[in-house]
Structure 1
Amino acid sequence: MSRPHTSLRTAVVWEVLREALDDRAKAAGRDVLDILDTGGGTGNFAVPVARLGHRVTVVDPSPDALFALERRATEAGVPDRVRGVQGDAHGLFDVAERGGYDMVLCHGVLEYVDDPAEGLRNAAAALRPEGGTLSVLAAGLGGMVLARALAGHFAEAHRALTDPDGRWGGGDPVPRRFTPEQLTALVTANGLEVGAVHGVRVFTDLVPGALVDTDPGAARALARLEEAVAELPAFRSVAAHLHVLARTGSGPAAG
């Protein structure tokens, strides 16, 4: 089973998810799980998860993204295991079942919703109460500060440190960023137990693309390095993105 196509950007999360899916299937006593992917877009994770044999419902506000998802699922040979519905985190239960999913993916959502606490609360409420796993991926404050500083934008880097939403200025395209502590606090506020916190893209966004695009050996070495530092607190605090894996009810959540 291959990784999602943007492997360097998603490799750490994908490996954690694969193990978490195996653990959840064993705990549930079922080979096929029901997965909800909120803000899943074109299916970067949903389609590979479906190729593992699971049923995936993708909720996304963009009709264009859902059209691309359908095409992608068909090309991957899993159109019967991927269902796309138009909606968002605020009205999640207008289109998704409360308490009906073994795993919920909340990737790239909390940065953009008006109320991240509500978005996380809805994602958690979609999990089966007897046992479910939540995967949260969100933009990290430390990685952006480091990147702005290395690019010579020192005032913007400093501004982000004091901004309540972690933004470097009016032209910042990301509405909100999180520290590891802020993100885990959102998760635990909903009664979930954090199993693991990972730093994602600690180095990848700082390395010249030409280096890894033209040298497969360098790409593999970078992927191994990302995996090696993902759970080290000193490095996840400066990661471009943060990944939290949590659980409710019984059974393992950590990968």
Structure 2
Amino acid sequence: MSETAEKFETAMSVWKQWQEAPWGRLRYAIAEANLLRHFGERAGEPLRVLDLAGGDGGDALSLAARGHHVTIADHAPAMLAAATERAAAAGLTDRIACVEADVNALPAGIARGEFDVVLCHNLLQYVDDVRRTLAASLAPLRPGGLFSVMAINRHSAPLTAAVREMDLAAATAALDTDQARTQMFDSALTLHTAEEITRHLSDLGCQDLCHYGIRSVCDYITDDARKHDPAFYDGLERLELALTARHPYMHTARLFQLTARKHLR
């Protein structure tokens, strides 16, 4: 195995552990709950969902289990292979399709797919041109369709450094930079705020924008071991659901999620 392949395999293993940890479970549970708020009368019918940079299917499998048809587009073959395996294990192969593609170079059939829902979760921090990526993400969505974008919240960076790492100098520095780094995938990140992305979405013609916070308190509780206790986790999830759309907590949550409707022609 090459050094690059071994590094990615290790990252995949860490990623799986992260997904199964309380903070990973919260990320998916709260995001799905916020999405379901906007399905409305169509919640009981199969929807066509496009999950951009959907990785190994963390969001897709849950939506497919609810009866929706999900296309995962991702540029990493190993992630798509993992998604395919997870779909097969869950008996959801007929509801999940995987396509190797970059969000800014989607195949014509997907780019003009007229999807009911498009997800763009945890992608923006990795791209150079946010406006271009958002425009490309909205292109496959039918008029009036639901768009959901999620990213690391820049406002949370100083708090994370101060509360979790007890590094006051790093917290002070984080106030004046949008740059960060992820150890899991050894990648540079550009952090954004919900206010910044909201302006882009409004300029691109989106309507009915809603702002949610994900992990509003979880990341600021330093006793990670306690979060594995089932009773404590249940209480934490209830609190996170209560805070997700409540001012001012969404502004300092570790992640922000924005939902919007694509403008009607």
Q: Structure 1 residues 64-73 or 5-14, which shifts more? A: 5-14
Q: Paired residue for 1:15?
A: 33
| Greater RCO (CA < 8 Å, at least 6 residues apart) | 1
Distance between the aligned counterparts of 1:74 and 1:93, measured in 2?
24
Give 1:148's aligned amino acid. Answer: A
The aligned runs of 1:86-235 (5 Å cut-off) are: 86-94=100-108, 96-129=110-143, 131-150=144-163, 151-163=165-177, 166-168=178-180, 173-207=187-221, 208-213=223-228, 215-235=229-249
Distance between the aligned counterparts of 2:41 and 2:130, measured in 1?
26
Distance between the aligned counterparts of 1:43 and 1:51, measured in 2?
12
Distance between the aligned counterparts of 2:193 and 2:173, measured in 1?
15
Q: Paired residue for 2:91?
A: 77
TM-superposition CA deviations, 1:30-65 (whole Å, max 9, x none): 822111000000000111111111111100011000
Q: Paired residue for 2:65?
A: 51
Q: Structure 1 residues 133-142 or 8-17, which shifts more? A: 8-17
CA RMSD in angstroms comes to: 2.2
- Identity %, equivalent residues: 32
- Contact kept in structure 2, 1:103 and 1:134, CA below 8 Å: yes
TM-score, structure 1 normalization: 0.86
Higher helix share: 2
TM-superposition CA deviations, 1:100-146 (whole Å, max 9, x none): 100000001111012111111111111112x2000101110122210
Give 2:151's aligned amino acid. Answer: A
Q: 4+ runs of 1 displaced by more than 6 Å?
A: 169-172
Structure 1 residue runs of 5 or longer lacking an equivalent are 251-255
User: What SS does the corresponding residue of 2:104 show, helix, strand or coil?
Assistant: coil
- Contact kept in structure 1, 2:68 and 2:95, CA below 8 Å: yes
Give 2:126's aligned amino acid. Answer: Y
- Contact kept in structure 2, 1:32 and 1:55, CA below 8 Å: yes
Distance between the aligned counterparts of 2:256 and 2:107, measured in 1?
26
